[in-house]
Amino acid sequence: MSVQNTTTSRRRLALRLPDRSAATERLSKYLLIAFLLALPAAFAISDLVHGGNLQRIGENLTQGLSNGLIWALIAVGYTLVYGIIGLINFAHGNVFMIGSLVTAGMLAALGLSTATGTLGILLGLLATLVVSMIACGALNLMIERVGYQPLREAPPLAALITSVGFFFILQNVGLLWFGSTPRSLPDLIGVEKVVFDVGGVAVHRADLFAIVTTVPVILAVAAFIGRSRLGKAMRATSQDRVAARLMGINVDVTVALAFLLGGLLAGAAGLVYALYETTVWFFQGFQAGLLGFTAAVMGGVGNLWGAVLGGLIIGCIQQISDNRIGSEWTPAIVFAYLIAIMVFRPRGLIGEATREAG
């Protein structure tokens, strides 16, 4: 019997082993939601008791949601690839980082600064967005072609290890390109300017920018996967690769497409992040990658809307932790959430959309 076949049967069986009833499933879901709400709820109550209003937690959540949209873009990249070939594409966080660096490079090349007119900034940003998305999409395609495609039939850990390898290679590319210190960018969008406020909760331009850029991109990808012929092929491949191939779907092209889409999203996320934070750094991909992955897992790996939901939740947790507990503790808190989800509900909030969820 071949290794691959035993792996498959093991996976399927192992997932059936903890035979839980629907009631326990639902209970674990509600417990997870309660667990996720615990942090914002605790601070909301303490705000009410001490300050008498919910202004601060409201701002935390607004910024958390807009920040979370960036993580959502990254998380969708993880989830697309995982859904189709069952690989955690570890390098993805640093593809995003390269997107930010490309953005910084483009802004410098175009000579955009705060003195440029609004139309100039808009057109420049649009051009930068296109370049950054294409660069990251091509990069992700190349990584797939060099590192993962030859290992399609190899043991599952092999591709994971090459992805770790690419993670470090890209990080070093970033280090060589931009040096070891964070570089600040011109504040083109006026990050701190308040656009409007709702009941004392200010919505800044950065928040609006993140929403205006990321939401259409996410909707476009969702429509592509849901409506188009290629998207249908992607969904078929993620359900059953052999059956898809028998139906005449070119599996290699479909897998490459998932990487291309993931890369395009990472490029967009890189641009939004660069303008939102107004600094870029070769090391930013590490935390972003882990946050994005946590978001994907939280929603249920392989599930597009789950990844978006996970991204928004992670954004809020991160923002609250940064603002209230201290940013030096944020990684530990996010990872503690990740471990808790893994232990109590490995399928995530919405559930895996792959056949392995069985």
In angstroms, give the least distance from the CB of 14 to other proteins: 6
Please give the angle made by the CA atoms of 266, 270 and 136, to the nearest 5 degrees: 45
- 120 part of the interface to other proteins, by CB under 8 A: no
Q: Site mask, other proteins, residues 195-234, x = CB under 8 A?
A: ----------------------------------------
- 250 part of the interface to other proteins, by CB under 8 A: no
Taken in order 330, 295, 138, 165, is the CA torsion positive or negative? positive
Pick out residues in 15-74 that bind other proteins (CB under 8 A).
Answer: 17-18
Please name which of 71, 13, 9, 35 lies closest in space to residue 345, comparing C-alpha atoms.
35
Judged by CB under 8 A, the residue of 218, 241, 264, 303 near other proteins is 241
Judged by CB under 8 A, the residue of 71, 96, 167, 209 near other proteins is 167
Judged by CB under 8 A, the residue of 30, 168, 192, 194 near other proteins is 168
Judged by CB under 8 A, the residue of 238, 293, 319, 322 near other proteins is 293
Judged by CB under 8 A, the residue of 111, 155, 182, 200 near other proteins is 155
Please name which of 71, 133, 123 lies closest in space to residue 100, comparing C-alpha atoms.
133
What angle separates helix 304-320 from helix 284-299, to the nearest 10 degrees? 120
Q: What is the DSSP string of 238-291?
A: HH-HHHHHHTT--HHHHHHHHHHHHHHHHHHHHHHHHHHHSEE-TTHHHHHHHH
CB 90 within 8 A of CB 169: no
Cα(118)–Cα(230) distance, integer angstroms = 37
In sequence order, the β-bridge partners of residue 8 are: none
Tell me the window of 61-69, 85-93, 222-230, 271-279 that interacts with other proteins (CB under 8 A). 85-93
Judged by CB under 8 A, the residue of 77, 137, 147, 311 near other proteins is 147
- 159 part of the interface to other proteins, by CB under 8 A: yes
Please name which of 288, 280, 287, 285 lies closest in space to residue 178, comparing C-alpha atoms.
280
Q: Which residues bind other proteins (CB under 8 A)?
A: 1-11, 13-14, 17-18, 85-88, 146-147, 150-162, 164-169, 171-173, 175-176, 180, 240-242, 245, 286, 290, 293, 297, 328-329, 331-332, 335-336, 338-339, 342-343, 346
